[in-house]
Amino acid sequence: MQRMDGGGLMIRPSEIRDAGELIALDHLVWTEETTPGPLKWRSREDYLQHSPPGSQLLALNKGRLCGYVGFGSPSPMKSHRHVCEINIAVHPEFRRSGIGRQLVEAVKRHVRDYGIRKLRLRVLASNEVALTFYRSCGFQEEGRLREEFYLGGHYVDEIFMGLMLTGEQNEETGTA
C-alpha cells in the first residue's frame, strides 16, 4: 500500500528501517499534554517489540516522516477482532495541514480488508485540540473514566471514542 495525495504526501506501512524516526517522533509528540505518561523507549528493540513493522501507516512528505497512525487489536479475544484501536501522532511542523485526517482515512481503508467494523481510541479530556479533531473525523464519545490521571497538578478524565465503519457483513466473522 503506497498512496500519494496530490501534494506529494505518501502513506505506507511502517518498516523496520523507520524505527529510529518513529522513536524520535514519539519522544516529540507524546507529552503530559497528550498522554498520561510520555513514551520513552529503552531501545530500538523495545520499540520494535511494542510497534512491529506494519503496525502503523506512515505519512511521508518528500521522504520526511510527518506523522503516523498506529493500529491494532485491543485484545486477543476472537469476539473482539472486529475492533481496532488507533493512535495518531503528527509532527508539530505538519499539524493543521490535513495529514491527521489523511491518516484516519488511510487506516479506515486499510483495516476494512481485515474485517474491522469499528475504530476506537483513547484521549485525555484536557486535549481539546485532539478531541475537536477526532469529532470532526466522526468519532463519538463512548465512555469516560473520571479523574483517571493526575497530570500537571490536575485530575484529568480519559475519554474513549469510537467510529463505526460501514459495509457489508462478513458471514464467516460477523464483521463488516
- List, for residues 132-146, the tens digit of each pLDDT value: 999 999 999 999 999
Check: CB of residue 23 under 8 Å from CB of residue 15: no
Identify the band that residue 70 occupies on the pLDDT scale cut at 50, 70 and 90.
very high
CB atoms within 10 A of CB 145: 13
| Distance between CA atoms of residues 129 and 162, nearest Å | 17
Show the cell assigned to 90.
503528527
Q: What is the pLDDT of residue 110?
A: 94
Mean pLDDT value of segment 146-158: 95
Check: CB of residue 54 under 8 Å from CB of residue 80: no
- Three-state SS for 105? helix
Q: How far apart are the first and last CA of the chain?
A: 21
Q: What is the pLDDT of residue 7?
A: 65
Parallel/antiparallel/unpaired status of strands 56-61 and 83-90? unpaired
Q: What is the pLDDT of residue 4?
A: 54
| Distance between CA atoms of residues 171 and 53, nearest Å | 30
120 contacts: CB under 8 Å, gap ≥ 6: 74, 83, 84, 85, 86, 142, 160, 161, 162, 163
Whether 176 shows a pLDDT value over 50: the answer reads: no
Mean pLDDT value of segment 71-86: 93
Whether 6 shows a pLDDT value over 60: the answer reads: no
Q: pLDDT tens digits for 10-61?
A: 999 999 999 999 999 999 998 888 888 877 788 889 999 999 999 999 999 9
Q: pLDDT tens digits for 102-136?
A: 999 999 999 988 889 999 999 999 999 999 999 99
Phi, psi values for residue 95, rounded to 5°: -70, 150
Check: CB of residue 53 under 8 Å from CB of residue 69: no
Sequence-separated contacts (24+) of 131-138 with Cβ below 8 Å: 131/159, 133/100, 133/101, 134/161, 136/101, 137/101, 137/104, 137/163, 138/163
Q: What is the pLDDT of residue 172?
A: 43
Whether 83 shows a pLDDT value over 90: the answer reads: yes
